[in-house]
Amino acid sequence: MTRFGAGDVSTHSPFPHRIAIVSDAWLPQMNGVVRTLATTCDILREWGHEVTVISPDRFRSMPCPTYPEIRLALAPPGAVARQLAEARPDAVHIATEGPLGLAARRYCVGQGVPFTTAYHTQFPDYVAKRTGISPEVFWRYIRWFHKPAERVMVATESIRSELREHGLENLHHWSRGVDLECFTPDAPLPPEYATLPRPIMLYVGRIAVEKNIEAFLSCGYPGSKVVVGDGPARAELEARFPEARFLGKRMGRDLAGCYAGADVFVFPSRTDTFGLVMIEALACGTPVAAFPVAGPVDIVTEPTGALSENLDRAIAAAIFCDSDDCAAFGSTFSWEAATRQFLAGLVSLEEEALAAA
């Protein structure tokens, strides 16, 4: 059932040549999920694979309630199925549990097409934060959604353990990476840092309720608190914490400079599955302070940061970590290695046919 061209398949993987990725999170959104998927697609194409992305930009969409930056695709009945059939992929990966992911799952299950999924976000906790409903209600959906997948890709051992506790077994490790040419300790510092009292404590990411930024802004450690990013909670937090500096969105080397010029990176989220910003900060030589929860416990080591239920204590300890140790550890996360893990987790139609023979 292979569709490889003669002699033109990347040596990074014997299969597949055509990959379909279905995601409800895509550009122009900018978050860890989108950056992971977009970077993975870029590398796969560089390696010679043909990648079809079925995402909200292909359809009419509406803002997600309480999360307007996310567009929920209003795909006509059968549209996702037709696009998958036209793509004739050797492997199908369903990245998210939203409307497009649901439509792709329906097609694959109905047609007997093997597929993989990924658990990118703590969906039950996110939705519970926004609705006040118990996370267990949403775990039922997560179990149902991922159960038919040949493999569920996860970024950390903590998330692997949690999914196993909820009855999901076919798990595959897919880590994350850093653009090591961009995120370096010598990135130019932002001019705003010149007048700020030290130490500079930095948060980077989406400014939303599930990110628990209030815990960072409320901590009592002396110095300057800087927030880089945007989101629906920004106006409220700026009004409540006027002493903090909100710099808005930064990209590329400008973002790298924000990391490199800070004394400590503070990651207050309790609901992330990985925390891509942490390894970006480390690659820039900046230690991490965080709560001891999934994501930080899998990434932060004693030489590169500190974890505590008391965020002030975590900051106080992390500040004394050596910048060179942080940068050396951050440099071990490459997007190429992560993409090889992704390829290794895919299930091709040919592989399934051979297994059944």
Is residue 63 scored above 80 in pLDDT? no
218 confidence band (pLDDT: 50, 70, 90): very high
Q: What is the distance between the alpha carbons of residues 191 and 187, in angstroms, rounded to a whole number?
A: 12
Chain-centroid distance, C-alpha 233: 20
pLDDT per residue as tens digits for the range 17-38: 899 999 999 988 878 899 999 9
Question: In the chain, where does DSSP find H-type helix?
Answer: 32-46, 79-87, 99-111, 123-131, 135-146, 157-165, 213-218, 234-240, 252-261, 276-283, 296-299, 311-318, 323-330, 335-345, 349-356
307 strand-pairing partners:
290
Segment among 67-71, 79-83, 186-190, 215-219 with least mean pLDDT:
67-71
Neighbours of 132 (CB within 10 A): 7
Distance CA 334, CA 318 (A): 24
- What's the pLDDT band for 353 if we cut at 50, 70, 90? very low
pLDDT of residue 7: 33
Contact 74, 59 (CB under 8 A): yes
* Strand-by-strand arrangement of the 245-248 sheet: 245-248, 224-228, 200-204, 264-267, 288-290, 305-307
Rounded CA-CA distance 176/35 in Å is 10
pTM of the model: 0.87
CA atoms within 13 A on the CB side of 52: 19
CA atoms within 13 A on the CB side of 265: 32
Q: Mind listing the pLDDT tens digit for each residue in 254-276?
A: 999 999 999 999 999 998 989 99
Binned at pLDDT 50, 70 and 90, residue 72 comes out as confident
Domains of the chain: 18-177+336-356 (3.40.50.2000), 191-332 (3.40.50.2000)
d(CA 329, CA 82): 44
